[in-house]
């Protein structure tokens, strides 16, 4: 699930004093109402489902009221998607939702069976039974409302609710809907908000949010706390620890969320990483994390007429085709009447974006269309950037000393992103990891 772990950084003393508050042990509260979410690798087979059941058993034994949200078993959603495509290239997206939602239903039923076998009262719930009410958009529905009365009634009877994640119900049509990949995270947070849970534990195949991908930097460390705003930026910039929409919902509803490992000993698990309000982190660091993405492509339009309406002519057709544009840089040409515009899109959208822009050439009036897919985006994030100057400049200097050329730069209040040649991705990450003190224990 977590193929690109996120980064948290401490800047050197010359830039800001170190903070230890972020790494204080953040233990979950005892005797609580909670939601536990388990991803596909955590429920990949019956043995792993039994391991999940032992995690649930621990919380029940502590006197907690527990709702569990599960994903499909690892690989099952891909199999179901492939079946839909094999059945028809032009399949009905509503029937697609009906098919792919079954993966989570199987997991929910199996976990309920295992819990019952352990002597723990449990029942499975499908999204439409809870119900989780959504918009009508097939395969990309958004949650409108969660009615938690059935789950709460089960708590009164001492029952564990096992809910199929990723799915809901469009009430007006009575159709099953799905929330898009990673939607079980969103299901879990929404249920936690609806039943007023003290916390939502997201169990994955990693034990929390790391300073960077340990496969790139072996000295990467786990954070104990991180702010909602920071993890939201990280998730949107390529870190795959949680779905972006789930983080948005957790931040809006103020749901205290832990990222934990399902592969820890169920009898003595580590606390993981707490995602919380900025106010819960007493002493804030300037830079908290680095995210990176190799799934990037660069497009440049040369000598575009510098006149009102040109930017709209470029980006509106892309938006209508649901091509997400990220970094945008505009540079005036020497002739003062034309400009060069560079931006990035996802690598999967690259060819489609080029075709759209070629069709729009007469309207836009550019002289040349250039592109590259051998690029990567590296981003540094931290709420402390709001009040400190020169944070990005330190990175630019360090990267230049390593011979890393920066193609484009974008900034906001709490992050900066750079576009570089993909071949230098790991070197850039290691350089910044050291620069901001992450190598220190």
User: Any idea what the CATH number is for the domain that residue 401 is in?
Assistant: 3.30.2130.10
Does 80 map to a domain? yes
Name the residue with tokens 């195949």.
205
Predicted pLDDT at 16: 34
Euclidean distance between CA atoms 289 and 305, whole angstroms: 39
Task: Give residue 242's domain range.
Answer: 21-282
Give the range among 226-230, 387-391, 426-430 with minimum mean pLDDT.
Answer: 387-391
Cβ–Cβ < 8 Å for 25, 274: no
Task: Choose among 194, 195, 140: nearest CA to 168.
Answer: 140
Does 425 map to a domain? yes
Model pLDDT for residues 131-147, shown as the tens digit of each residue: 999 999 988 899 999 99
pLDDT at 155 exceeding the cut of 80: yes
Euclidean distance between CA atoms 27 and 17, whole angstroms: 25
Cβ–Cβ < 8 Å for 140, 97: no
Does 147 belong to an annotated binding site? no
- Pick from 282, 304, 327: which residue ends a domain? 282
* 160 and 100 co-located in one domain: yes
Model pLDDT for residues 78-111, shown as the tens digit of each residue: 999 999 999 998 999 999 999 999 999 999 999 9
Does 240 belong to an annotated binding site? yes
* 182 and 322 co-located in one domain: no
Provide the domain count of the chain: 2
Predicted pLDDT at 54: 98
Predicted pLDDT at 283: 64
Q: What residues have CB less than 8 Å from 113, skipping those under 6 apart?
A: none
CATH number for 192? 3.40.1160.10
Does 10 map to a domain? no
For the chain, give the mean pLDDT. Answer: 89
Other beta carbons less than 10 A from residue 57's beta carbon: 19
Does 91 map to a domain? yes
H/E element, 230: helix 228-236
Beta bridge partner(s), residue 305: 338
Phi first, then psi: give them for residue 129, nearest 5 degrees.
-85, -25
Predicted pLDDT at 15: 37
Does 121 map to a domain? yes
H/E element, 68: strand 65-70
Name the residue with tokens 């649930």.
56
Does 16 map to a domain? no
* 232 and 305 co-located in one domain: no
Phi first, then psi: give them for residue 19, nearest 5 degrees.
-115, 130
* 73 and 206 co-located in one domain: yes
Q: What is the dihedral of CA 361, 364, 366, 369, to 10 degrees?
A: -50
Euclidean distance between CA atoms 222 and 6, whole angstroms: 9
- Pick from 262, 282, 302: which residue ends a domain? 282
Predicted pLDDT at 6: 37
* 333 and 211 co-located in one domain: no
Euclidean distance between CA atoms 283 and 20, whole angstroms: 8
Strand 33-38 versus strand 199-204 pairing type: parallel
pLDDT at 13 exceeding the cut of 70: no
* 180 and 277 co-located in one domain: yes
Q: Name which residue leads in pLDDT, 217 or 401.
A: 401
pLDDT at 76 exceeding the cut of 70: yes
Does 97 belong to an annotated binding site? no
Q: What residues have CB less than 8 Å from 75, skipping those under 6 apart?
A: 40, 44
Does 3 map to a domain? no
Euclidean distance between CA atoms 180 and 184, whole angstroms: 9
Euclidean distance between CA atoms 74 and 76, whole angstroms: 6
pLDDT at 280 exceeding the cut of 70: yes
pLDDT-derived band of residue 238, with 50, 70 and 90 as boundaries? low
Task: Choose among 295, 294, 314: nearest CA to 304.
Answer: 314
* 265 and 309 co-located in one domain: no
Euclidean distance between CA atoms 32 and 309, whole angstroms: 56
pLDDT-derived band of residue 241, with 50, 70 and 90 as boundaries? confident
* 91 and 51 co-located in one domain: yes
Does 219 belong to an annotated binding site? no
Does 2 map to a domain? no
Does 91 belong to an annotated binding site? no
Does 38 belong to an annotated binding site? yes
* 276 and 315 co-located in one domain: no
Does 39 belong to an annotated binding site? yes
Does 377 belong to an annotated binding site? no
Euclidean distance between CA atoms 364 and 352, whole angstroms: 17
Model pLDDT for residues 298-348, shown as the tens digit of each residue: 999 999 988 889 999 999 999 999 899 989 998 876 667 889 999 999 998
* 270 and 309 co-located in one domain: no
* 194 and 276 co-located in one domain: yes
Other beta carbons less than 10 A from residue 253's beta carbon: 14
* 307 and 243 co-located in one domain: no
Does 272 belong to an annotated binding site? no
Q: Name which residue leads in pLDDT, 387 or 419.
A: 419
Q: Name which residue leads in pLDDT, 127 or 285.
A: 127
pLDDT at 7 exceeding the cut of 60: no
pLDDT at 279 exceeding the cut of 70: yes
Does 185 belong to an annotated binding site? no
Cβ–Cβ < 8 Å for 259, 273: yes
pLDDT-derived band of residue 124, with 50, 70 and 90 as boundaries? very high
Q: What is the dihedral of CA 313, 316, 320, 325, to 10 degrees?
A: 120
Predicted pLDDT at 10: 35
Predicted pLDDT at 441: 52
- Pick from 282, 311, 336: which residue ends a domain? 282
């Amino acid at each position: 699930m977590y193929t690109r772990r996120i980064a948290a950084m401490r800047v050197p003393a010359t830039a800001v004093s170190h903070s230890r508050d972020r790494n204080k042990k953040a233990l979950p509260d005892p005797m609580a109402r909670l939601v536990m979410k388990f991803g596909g690798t955590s429920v990949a087979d019956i043995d792993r489902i039994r391991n999940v059941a032992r995690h649930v058993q621990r919380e029940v034994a502590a006197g907690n009221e527990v709702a569990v949200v599960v994903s499909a078993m690892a690989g099952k959603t891909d199999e179901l998607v492939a079946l839909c495509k094999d059945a028809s290239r032009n399949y009905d997206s509503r029937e697609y939702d009906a098919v792919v939602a079954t993966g989570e239903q199987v997991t929910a039923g199996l976990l309920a069976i295992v819990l019952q076998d352990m002597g723990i009262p449990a029942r499975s719930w499908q999204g439409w039974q809870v119900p989780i009410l959504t918009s009508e958009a097939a395969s990309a529905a958004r949650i409108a409302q969660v009615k938690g009365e059935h789950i709460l009634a089960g708590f009164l009877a001492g029952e564990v609710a096992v809910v199929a994640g990723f799915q809901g119900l469009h009430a007006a049509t009575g159709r099953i809907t799905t929330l898009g990949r990673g939607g079980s995270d969103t299901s879990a947070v929404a249920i936690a908000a609806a039943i007023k849970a003290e916390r939502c534990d997201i169990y994955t195949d990693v034990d929390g949010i790391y300073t960077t991908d340990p496969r790139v930097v072996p000295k990467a460390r786990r954070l104990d706390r991180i702010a909602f705003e920071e993890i939201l930026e990280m998730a949107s910039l390529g870190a795959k620890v949680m779905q972006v929409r789930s983080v948005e919902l957790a931040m809006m509803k103020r749901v205290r969320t832990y990222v934990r490992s399902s592969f820890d000993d169920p009898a003595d698990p580590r606390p993981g990483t707490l995602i919380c309000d900025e106010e819960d982190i007493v002493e804030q660091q300037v830079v908290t994390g680095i995210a990176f993405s190799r799934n990037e492509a660069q497009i440049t339009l040369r000598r575009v007429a510098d006149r009102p309406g040109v930017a709209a002519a470029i980006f509106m057709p892309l938006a209508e085709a649901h091509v997400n544009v990220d970094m945008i840089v505009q540079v005036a040409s020497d002739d003062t009447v034309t400009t060069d515009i560079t931006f990035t899109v996802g690598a999967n959208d690259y060819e489609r974006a080029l075709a759209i822009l070629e069709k729009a050439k007469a309207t836009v009036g550019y002289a040349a269309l250039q592109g590259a897919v051998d690029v990567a985006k590296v981003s540094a994030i931290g709420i402390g950037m709001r009040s400190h100057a020169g944070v990005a400049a330190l990175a630019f200097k360090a990267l230049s000393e390593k011979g890393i050329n920066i193609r484009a730069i974008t900034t906001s209040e709490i992050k900066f992103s750079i576009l570089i040649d993909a071949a230098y991705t790991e070197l850039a990450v290691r350089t910044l990891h050291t620069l901001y003190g992450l190598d220190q224990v």
